[in-house]
Amino acid sequence: MGEQEAVEEDSIAQKHGGTRKLTMMPLIALIFYDVSGGPFGVEDSVKSGGPLLSLLGFLIFPLIWSIPEALITAELATSFPSNGGYVLWISEAFGPFWGFQEGFWKWFSGVMDNALYPVLFLDYLKHTFPIFKRTIARIPALLGITVSLTYLNYRGLAIVGFTAVGLATFSLLPFVVMGFLSIPRIRPSQWLVMDLKKVDWRGYFNSLFWNLNYWDKASTLAGEVENPSKTFPKALCGAVVLVVSSYLIPLLAGTGALNVATSEWSDGYFAEVGMLIGGIWLKWWIQVAAAMSNMGLFEAEMSSDAFQLLGMSEMGMLPEIFSYRSKYGTPTFSILCSATGVIFLSWMSFQEIVEFLNFLYSVGMLLEFAAFVRLRIKKPDLQRPYKVPLETFGVIVLCMPPAVLLLLVMCLASFKTFIVSSFVIILGFLLYPSIEYAKQNRCVRFGSTLVPSKQDHEIIPVVPQQQDIADEAAVGLLEELSDIKVKQCDLDMDLKFE
C-alpha cells in the first residue's frame, strides 16, 4: 500500500467522525493486551507443572502456537483490511453461515474473557485494601469499574491505544527491576525442578493456552489501522517478542532466585515474589501494576469485541444499529452490548471462565486454520500484501501442530464445559436463520448485504438505496462503498470491451 492509499485512508477516517487511525505503537500495545497484559496469571503454570515445565512451556508454546497464529493473522488481516477480521475470512472461505458462527463463538468467548478483568482488578487490590473482600463493597466497585472502562472505550480507539501504551510500560517496568535485582540470587539448578507425578496437565495446558492465545483479535480492528499492509505484520512481530519476554523474565527471576514450594505459586503470587526479592515497595508496585494491567486487558478486549460486531453489521450479518458510530467514531450499541455481557458473566469463577472461553476459542481457531488453507487453494491469486513464505503444503504443515494443540485443549475440558459450550454452539446455529428471517421480512433494519465482488477476491458490503441513513458515520460509509461500486463497474466495462 502506497502513500496515496494512506491519504485515502485518512480521508475515510475524517468521514467517520474525524477519528484517528491506529499507528504502530498503539497497535502493538493493543495486541499485547489482547494476548497477555503481562505475567499476571502465569503463576498457575508453575503450580501445575513446576519451574522446568513452566519455562519450557513459554519457550516452546510460542513456536508451535503463537508464531503460526500471528503469521496467519498477518496474512489474512492484510488481505481483508476491514473491521470484522476473522468473520470476513471465514465468510470468504466457507460462506456467511459459517462466518456468522465464527463471529458468535469468538464474540461470546471474548466477552467471557473480559468478564475476568474487573474481578482480577479487585483481587489484586484487596491485598492492600481488605474492604474489597466484602460483597457490599465489591459489587458497586465491579459495576463502577466496568462502567468507567466502558466509557473510556466509547471515547475513541486512539485514546484506548495510547492508554494501552502507557499501561503496558507501567505494568512491565517492575518486572524489569525485579529481573535485575534477582541476578545475584539466581541458582540455575532451581529452574530444573520437575515432578511428573504431580503435574496437573489440564491446569498446565489451560494456563499456557490462555496466556498465549487471541493473536487474531486485533484483526477485528483492521479497518481502523493506518496502512495495515505494513503496520500489521510489524506490530504482530513486535508483540510476539514483547509477550514472550514479559513471561520469561519474571519466571526466570522468580523460580531461579527463590526456593519455595510450587504449591505457593497461585494467582497474584508475583507480588510476594517481588517482596522477597526487592522488598515491600516492589510488592506494592507489582500489585498496582497488576491492577492497571487488567484495565488495559479490558480496554483491548472491549475494543476488539465491539468492532467485530460493527464489522458483522456492515456485512449484513447483524442489524444496522450495531454499526452506528458515536461522534468519537466508536460503535456505541456494540460497546453497550459487550459491556452488558461482561456484567452478566462476571459471577462465574476464574477457572470456569478460562476453560469455557478456551473451548469456544479452540473451535473458532480450527475454523480459521481451515479457512486459511482453503483460501490458499481456492484463491491463489488473492491479493496478499503480506504472505506467509510457504506454499500450500507448507502452510498445511504450519497449521498441523497448533491444530493438534487445539484438539488437546478441547479433549482436556470438563464435562460441564462440553455441555455449556455445546449450548452456545447450538444457540449460534439457531440465531442465524432467525436473523435471516428478520432481514428478509424487514422486521429489523439492516444496513448492508453480503455480495461477492466481480474480482472474486473480496466481500463487498452493498448498502440498499431505499434505506434512510441514521448518522454521519453511515453517510461516510455509503460514500466510500459507492466509490467502490463505481470503480467496479468501470472495471467490468473494460473487461467486456477487451
Residue 286 near residue 271 (C-beta atoms within 8 A): yes
Q: What mean pLDDT is reported for the chain?
A: 79
Exposed e or buried b for every residue in 371-394, given b needs 16+ CB within 10 A?
Answer: bbbebbeebeebebbbbbeeeeee
Q: Residue 489's pLDDT band (boundaries 50, 70, 90)?
A: very low
Q: In the predicted model, is pLDDT for residue 51 greater than 70? A: yes
Q: In the predicted model, is pLDDT for residue 178 greater than 70? A: yes
Neighbours of 408 (CB within 10 A): 13
Closest by CA to 361, choosing from 425, 297, 293, is 425
Residue 323 near residue 373 (C-beta atoms within 8 A): no
Is the domain covering 3-446 a CATH 3.40.50.300 domain? no
Beta bridge partners of 325: 331
Sign of the torsion formed by the C-alpha atoms of 106, 109, 112 and 113: negative
Q: State whether residue 442 is helix, strand or coil.
A: coil
Distance of CA 491 to CAs 70, 453, 465, 488, 498, Å? 34, 11, 22, 5, 11
Residue 447 near residue 331 (C-beta atoms within 8 A): no
Lowest mean pLDDT among 29-43, 179-193, 417-431: 29-43
pLDDT tens digits along 196-225: 888 888 888 888 888 888 888 878 777 778
pLDDT tens digits along 139-153: 787 788 788 878 877
Residue 52 near residue 194 (C-beta atoms within 8 A): yes
Residue 49 near residue 186 (C-beta atoms within 8 A): no
C-alpha cell read off for 220: 477485528
Q: What is the 3-state secondary structure of 329-396? A: CCEHHHHHHHHHHHHHHCCCCHHHHHHHHHHHHHHHHHHHHHHHHHHHHHCCCCCCCCCCCCCHHHHH
Structure confidence at residue 94 (pLDDT) = 94
Structure confidence at residue 1 (pLDDT) = 43
Q: In the predicted model, is pLDDT for residue 194 greater than 80? A: yes
**Distance between CA 483 and CA 464 in Å, rounded?**
15
Cα 133 vs. chain centroid, distance in angstroms?
Answer: 30
Contacts of 359 (CB under 8 A, 6+ apart): 409, 410, 413, 417, 418, 421
Closest by CA to 265, choosing from 249, 280, 254, 278, is 254
Beta bridge partners of 371: none
Structure confidence at residue 281 (pLDDT) = 93
- The H or E element that residue 108 is part of is helix 96-114
Distance of CA 347 to CAs 93, 100, 351, 376, Å? 37, 27, 12, 43
For the chain, the structural domain boundaries read 3-446
Structure confidence at residue 346 (pLDDT) = 66
pLDDT tens digits along 285-344: 998 888 788 778 887 888 888 888 888 888 888 888 888 888 878 788 888 888 887 777
Structure confidence at residue 310 (pLDDT) = 86
Residue that has been written with the C-alpha cell 502513500 in this structure: 3
Q: In the predicted model, is pLDDT for residue 492 greater than 60? A: no
**Distance between CA 416 and CA 39 in Å, rounded?**
28
pLDDT tens digits along 345-378: 766 666 677 788 888 889 999 999 999 999 999 9
**Distance between CA 458 and CA 253 in Å, rounded?**
48
Q: State whether residue 22 is helix, strand or coil.
A: strand
**Distance between CA 439 and CA 96 in Å, rounded?**
14
Q: In the predicted model, is pLDDT for residue 498 greater than 70? A: no
Structure confidence at residue 158 (pLDDT) = 65
**Distance between CA 174 and CA 7 in Å, rounded?**
40
Q: In the predicted model, is pLDDT for residue 99 greater than 90? A: yes
pLDDT tens digits along 413-463: 888 888 988 999 999 999 999 998 888 888 888 865 544 443 333 444 443
User: Over pLDDT 70: what percentage of the chain?
Assistant: 82
